[in-house]
């Protein structure tokens, strides 16, 4: 298998807030600014001395998928999905015949579906009868200190969540004054919330008093805590060094979590690195003595607003640790979903076809980007794939796709398109450069008029030219296959894709509506047109 590349994660909450404001959603945009602490800055640990030259393109936090429709841009249930369109679309009342009103029910009989785990309901919430796991992590918050390593946007946001839940928090960064700047950003956030009457001054001051900045490059100097959440740059060797220092200094009961959005938990804790990192370590580096207390807690950006947390299990992660961490996440007001340490986890893996199929249709000359965006918004997606990738950055989105593709052994299912590679080579990176799929003036798209009549004509036609059917068939196939391989439960896949990306439905909800026979037929037609394995159906379909 090719080497795992450094994985840049898409998606900045600042960009979401800006886009919402441009569409006329001022209050949500203001709410995002109140919750965001730092505008996308990611500080490097001590042994990462190369400065960040373009923080818009190199932020290492969050997920590319949260931007697909953040809670800042969610229409009420039952509202037409075109009612709050991006300004890239011409006024239209077009709604795809594939649009399905949201009906959250438990679905347990679809192909590839597993019954929910005992400690979770159908949609990830706690089962009332489930006992609380007896773990020190679940002691009263004021007795359960948390250390967050990395004072960038993600780290500061996670620190805010923990402090608001009542935990003493140590916010750690290797860069001088980085943690102090993050705390100052938190203070400014709470000042605005107090001014608007959202929180009392007493509560704001109490939350801020719980956060202590700590500057160090030596993780062994961090005081003893119950939980450490690492949120630094996505470099395997950096994370490995941090976790080995933590293990040598923290009590044996301390839970050690990484906020990685793609790196393998087993690679972080194990003896041997793979690919490029093996060369850095001469092929091996010491394994952690107690990998059972290590797991992934993948928050989505911005953490105070995004409800989803992917709880990632390594091969040696202890069941008690996973259960306790999941319960703690619930107590913080989040919804945990479980996944193995598979490339891309749930959200960044399942969502790849949302971008890839649209790009292939444009490359094939079947439709223009604005019209494809309109068709997919008509099916209930809050943003189309082209306006979305322009917002998060074509270079960043491409890096995500390249990473998943390489980590899966260059599986054709995840192969990035030459069409997007060419955009990046030409410097057409999206809003941040003024040119991407669309042209931008003063941050707003110009000359991006969709053809509503063409969108209506495409949807319901042959699957090759139907952007909705083509995308949904691949999303369903990917979700079913993830469950078939035992990486996650069907309930958690649906929960992750609706909460983490704000898709109108998860793959299994769509499967029930479309039917396995239809999905198989559509994939077979695409595979005949485009042989090579990209459209091979999951064995579970």
> Is 478 one of the catalytic residues?
no
Choose the catalytic residue: 86, 261, 403, 502: 261
Q: Tell me the three-class secondary structure of 18-83, residue by residue.
A: HHHHHCCCHHHHHHHHHHCCCCCCCCCCCCCCCCCCCHHHHCCCCCCCHHHCCHHHCCCCCCCCCC
Choose the catalytic residue: 348, 397, 477, 502: 348
> Is 348 one of the catalytic residues?
yes
Find the Cα–Cα–Cα–Cα dihedral 233, 239, 241, 245, rounded to 10°: 110
The whole-model pTM stands at 0.75
The rounded mean pLDDT for the chain is 80
pLDDT at residue 96, rounded to an integer: 54
Both tokens of 118, joined, read 């005992």
């509506």: which residue's tokens?
513
pLDDT at residue 286, rounded to an integer: 78
Choose the catalytic residue: 41, 247, 310, 387: 310
11 in Cβ contact with 301 (< 8 Å): yes
- Which residue from 18, 40, 41 is spatially nearest to 30, judged by alpha carbons? 18
Q: How confident is the model at residue 367 (pLDDT cuts 50, 70, 90)?
A: very high
The string of pLDDT tens digits covering residues 170-209 is 999 999 999 999 999 999 999 999 999 999 999 999 999 9
The string of pLDDT tens digits covering residues 164-178 is 999 999 999 999 999
The string of pLDDT tens digits covering residues 254-301 is 999 999 988 899 999 987 544 444 444 444 567 999 999 999 999 998
pLDDT at residue 95, rounded to an integer: 56
CA pair distance 13, 72, nearest whole angstrom: 9
Domain boundaries, the chain: 69-112+348-529, 136-333
Choose the catalytic residue: 298, 327, 487, 538: 298
The pLDDT of residue 88 is above 60: no
> Is 310 one of the catalytic residues?
yes
The string of pLDDT tens digits covering residues 508-539 is 999 999 999 999 999 999 999 999 999 999 99
CA pair distance 305, 236, nearest whole angstrom: 28
> Is 261 one of the catalytic residues?
yes
At the second CATH level, the architecture of 136-333 is 3-Layer(aba) Sandwich (3.40)
CA pair distance 243, 410, nearest whole angstrom: 29
CA pair distance 89, 537, nearest whole angstrom: 33
Protein fold of 69-112+348-529: 1.10.1040
């Amino acid at each position: 298998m090719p080497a795992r590349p450094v994985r840049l994660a898409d998606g900045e909450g600042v960009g979401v807030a800006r886009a919402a404001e441009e569409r006329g959603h001022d209050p949500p945009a203001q709410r995002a600014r109140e919750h965001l602490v730092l505008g996308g800055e990611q500080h490097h640990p001590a042994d990462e001395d190369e400065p960040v030259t373009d923080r818009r393109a190199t932020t290492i936090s969050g997920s590319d998928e949260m931007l697909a429709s953040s809670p800042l841009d969610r229409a009420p249930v039952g509202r037409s999905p075109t009612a709050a369109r991006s300004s890239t679309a011409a006024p239209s009342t077009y709604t795809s015949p594939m649009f399905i009103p949201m009906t959250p029910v438990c679905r347990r009989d679809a192909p590839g579906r597993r019954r929910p785990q005992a400690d979770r309901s159908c949609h990830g919430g706690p089962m009332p009868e489930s006992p609380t796991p007896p773990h020190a992590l679940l002691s009263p918050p004021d007795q359960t200190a948390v250390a967050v390593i990395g004072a960038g946007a993600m780290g500061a946001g996670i620190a805010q969540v923990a402090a608001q839940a009542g935990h003493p928090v140590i916010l750690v960064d290797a860069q001088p004054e980085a943690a102090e700047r993050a705390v100052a950003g938190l203070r400014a956030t709470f000042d605005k919330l107090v001014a608007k009457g959202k929180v009392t001054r007493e509560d704001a001051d109490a939350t801020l008093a719980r956060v202590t900045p700590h500057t160090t490059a030596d993780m062994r100097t961090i005081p003893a805590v119950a939980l450490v959440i690492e949120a630094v740059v996505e470099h395997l060797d950096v994370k490995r060094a941090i976790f080995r220092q933590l293990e040598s200094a923290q009590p044996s009961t301390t839970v050690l979590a990484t906020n990685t959005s793609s790196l393998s938990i087993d690679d972080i804790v194990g003896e041997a690195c793979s690919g490029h990192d093996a060369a850095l370590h001469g092929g091996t580096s010491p394994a952690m003595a107690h990998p059972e207390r290590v797991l992934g807690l993948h928050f989505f950006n911005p953490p105070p607003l995004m409800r989803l947390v992917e709880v990632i299990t390594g091969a040696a992660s202890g069941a008690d640790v996973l259960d306790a961490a999941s319960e703690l996440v619930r107590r913080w007001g989040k919804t945990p979903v479980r996944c193995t340490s598979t490339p891309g986890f749930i959200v960044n893996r399942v969502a790849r076809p949302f971008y890839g199929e649209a790009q292939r249709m444009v490359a094939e000359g079947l439709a223009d980007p604005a019209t494809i965006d309109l068709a997919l918004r008509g099916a209930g997606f809050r943003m189309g794939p082209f306006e979305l990738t322009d917002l998060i950055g074509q270079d960043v989105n491409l890096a995500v796709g390249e990473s998943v593709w390489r980590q899966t052994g260059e599986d054709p299912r995840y192969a990035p398109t030459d069409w997007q590679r060419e955009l990046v080579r030409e410097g057409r990176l999206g809003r941040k450069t003024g040119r991407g799929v669309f042209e931008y003036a003063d941050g707003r798209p110009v000359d991006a008029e969709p053809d509503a009549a063409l969108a209506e004509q495409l949807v319901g036609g042959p699957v090759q030219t139907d952007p909705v059917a083509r995308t949904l068939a691949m999303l369903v196939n990917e979700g079913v296959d993830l469950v078939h391989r035992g990486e996650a439960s069907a309930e958690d896949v649906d929960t992750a894709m609706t909460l983490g990306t704000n898709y109108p439905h998860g793959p299994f909800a769509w499967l029930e509506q479309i039917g396995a026979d239809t999905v198989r037929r559509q994939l077979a037609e695409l595979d005949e047109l485009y042989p090579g394995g990209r459209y091979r159906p999951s064995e579970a379909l």
